[in-house]
Amino acid sequence: MLKKRIRHFQRYRDIVYAFTRYGFGFVMNELGLLDLLSVPKKVFTEGNKTIRNKTTGERLRLFLEELGPTFIKIGQIVSTRPDVIPNEIIQELEKLQDQVPLFPYQEVKQIIELEFDQPIEDLFVEFSEFPLAAASIGQVHDAVLSTGERVAVKVQRPNIQPMIETDLEILQDLARLAESRLDWAVRYQIRDIVSELAASIRLELDYENEGRNTERIARQFEQNPKVMIPKIHWDYTTPKVLTMDYMEGIKLNETAKLEQAGYDKKILAERVVHSVFEQILVDGFFHGDPHPGNILALPGEVIAFLDFGIVGRLTTQMKTHVASFMIALMNQNTDEVVKTITNMGLVPEDVNQDKLRADVDQLREKYISIPFSEMKAGQAVNELFSVAYRHRVQIPTDLTILGKTLLTIEGIVEKLDPDLSIIKVAEPFGRQMVKDRLNPKNVAEKVWNQFFEYSTIVNELPRTVKDFTSVMKKGKMRIELSSPELDEFLKKLNRISNRFSFSILLLSFSIIMGGLIIGAAMTGQTSVLLSKVPLIEIGFGLGTTMSVLLLLSIFRSGRF
């Protein structure tokens, strides 16, 4: 940890100073970094003067923007977590702008030529020097291939990866330090949150991953001409350069332009909702950041989705949970909603079920008064996640991305067609999923899969038991338990085993005696003599005595 601080000393200072200037210096103070990095007290004073009239959300947004691409991207990702972040802060984080300068064409040209090891003129017939758009990680240029196809080329910023890796390394260091010193950091599992954010950002840095995401979504709509996904040109794509079809259209939030172009906004709204629910509830792989800039309207009310750097993934089980939640919400069924929360996340053992149910009841009562047509799926899901968070129910990241996606889509649809109910559009998808789940063929397939799973466990059981007993024989496992109830139980178990052994001995003796008697009968003898000793008579006497003793022991125990 100390080596990292020395290696990234200046960046550490920048981050700690920013924390302090924007009113979050108490966190750095609790971590002991203010004294370590010799932060002057005037930074506190200057910071307080600057931010005195700003809200926590505003200060947090300005703080992230000042620290650059890594922190902006973290803010954008965190804004998808309404289960963790208060709504007023999320509203500010959604305003985060990529306050980064354009990088010059010469650097763009150099990156492309290094990636493909050939002159840019050999790759593209035309290449616009001025970017169409710029963001924290890269910028997009208009170009034309030798085939005449018009494409959009996304180029990653120079040296962005080492810069982001440095910031992520520092944040992971701070998270470890926080969990070692602060109870709240352990409670909120700060290290896990930072690791999750780091993994998400690293995926966005890989443009080939974005290309694969784009193609997977495109396959979902191969038979639907009303939904367009840009084609990826893999011969012109690397981890730092992404080339795709150029899509020219009108952003869905530009309602005046849509009206001027003669688009039917109601049709656009319905197609957006249908396509999103098809991604979520049919394929379980969906656009994780469908803001208005990433959805275009094309002639014929065709919609086009762009930018698949962030995606959500739902397993079959998670899709079922989402469908069950929507149906429970429509039916105003509190028990089913509580059950859905429990099934969706990791519920702590000490959760107060009564309080959880009371909070869900309160949420249900809110939605009882709302007409079905006005019910908002995104808002309901995010409020549900807030309830889950209050009770420390851990909701999987992909489900929080889903909540954010629904909320964003609702915002778009509200401007296009305020009368369209997303819940109503989602209802057929949810009911179809429930039907599919109850379909005898699917049930049989599930049972069959479970049978194979359990048969594997059974097949491995003898080896597992053998390994366990081998370890115990070698004395490598030692278990010591002390409990009055356990001691009494062991005594009873010992008596039972002794009686069981006695019974087996008696049974063996009886079998031997039976054999002697049968042998004597076959030879016509009335007794069997061994050195003039009558074995049958003696054996009968011993057997009778042993049987009487066993019966007395059973009666004496009081448990016949």
Question: Could you write out the DSSP letters of every residue in 69-121?
Answer: HHHHHHHHHHTT-TTTS-HHHHHHHTT-----PPPPHHHHHHHHHHHHTS-HH
pLDDT at 80: 65
Residues 6+ apart with CB under 8 A from 425: 270, 273, 274, 277
Q: Model confidence over 222-232: pLDDT tens digits?
A: 999 999 999 99
Check residues 321 and 254 and name the one with the higher pLDDT. Answer: 254
Give per-residue burial for 288-321: e unless 16+ CB within 10 Å, then b: bbbbeebbbbeeebbbbbbbbbbbbbbeeebbbb
Band the pLDDT of 453: cuts 50, 70, 90. Answer: low
Whether 257 and 349 map to the same domain: the answer is yes
Band the pLDDT of 528: cuts 50, 70, 90. Answer: very low
Judged against a pLDDT cut of 80, whether residue 446 lies above it is answered with no
Whether 90 and 16 map to the same domain: the answer is yes
Please, what is the Cα angle at 192 between 188 and 195, to 5 degrees? 140
Whether 389 and 538 map to the same domain: the answer is no
Q: Model confidence over 248-302: pLDDT tens digits?
A: 999 988 888 999 999 999 999 999 999 998 898 888 899 988 888 889 999 999 9
Whether 116 and 80 map to the same domain: the answer is no
Is 436 part of the annotated catalytic residue set?
Answer: no
pLDDT at 479: 54
Band the pLDDT of 124: cuts 50, 70, 90. Answer: very high
Whether 358 and 451 map to the same domain: the answer is no
Q: Which of helix, strand or coil describes residue 311?
A: strand
Report the CATH number at residue 127: 3.30.200
Whether 178 and 193 map to the same domain: the answer is yes
Whether 126 and 189 map to the same domain: the answer is no
Give the domain-ending residue among 246, 275, 308. Answer: 246
Can you give the pTM of this predicted structure? 0.69
Say which of 83, 142, 289, 417 is annotated catalytic.
289
pLDDT at 87: 73
**Structural domain span for residue 130:** 100-165+200-246
Q: Give the residue from 179, 136, 177 showing the smallest Cα distance to 154.
A: 136
Check residues 291 and 494 and name the one with the higher pLDDT. Answer: 291
Average the pLDDT over each of 52-56, 242-246, 490-494 and give the range with the smallest value.
Answer: 490-494
pLDDT at 187: 72
Instruction: For the chain, give the percent of residues with pLDDT over 90.
Output: 25
Q: How many domains does the chain have?
A: 5
Average the pLDDT over each of 72-76, 125-129, 215-219, 461-465 and give the range with the smallest value.
Answer: 461-465
Whether 429 and 447 map to the same domain: the answer is no
List alpha helices for 221-315, DSSP H: 255-260, 265-277
Q: Give the single-character DSSP code of 292.
A: G
Whether 529 and 459 map to the same domain: the answer is no
Mean pLDDT of the chain: 77
Whether 382 and 295 map to the same domain: the answer is yes
d(CA 74, CA 170): 14
d(CA 57, CA 386): 18
Count CB neighbours of 23 within 10 A: 18
Band the pLDDT of 531: cuts 50, 70, 90. Answer: very low
Pick left, alpha or beta for residue 143 (phi over 0 → left; psi -120 to 50 → alpha; otherwise beta).
Answer: beta
Give the mean model confidence (pLDDT) for residues 181-196.
Answer: 80
Whether 290 and 146 map to the same domain: the answer is no
pLDDT at 249: 92
Q: Give the residue from 286, 308, 275, 278 showing the smallest Cα distance to 402.
A: 286
Whether 22 and 154 map to the same domain: the answer is no
Q: Give the residue from 19, 27, 118 showing the smallest Cα distance to 64.
A: 19
Pairing of strands 533-534, 285-287: unpaired
C-beta of residue 384 within 8 angstroms of C-beta of residue 367 = no
Average the pLDDT over each of 51-55, 314-318, 337-341, 516-520 and give the range with the smallest value.
Answer: 516-520
pLDDT at 559: 47
Q: Which residues pair with 141 in a beta bridge?
A: 153
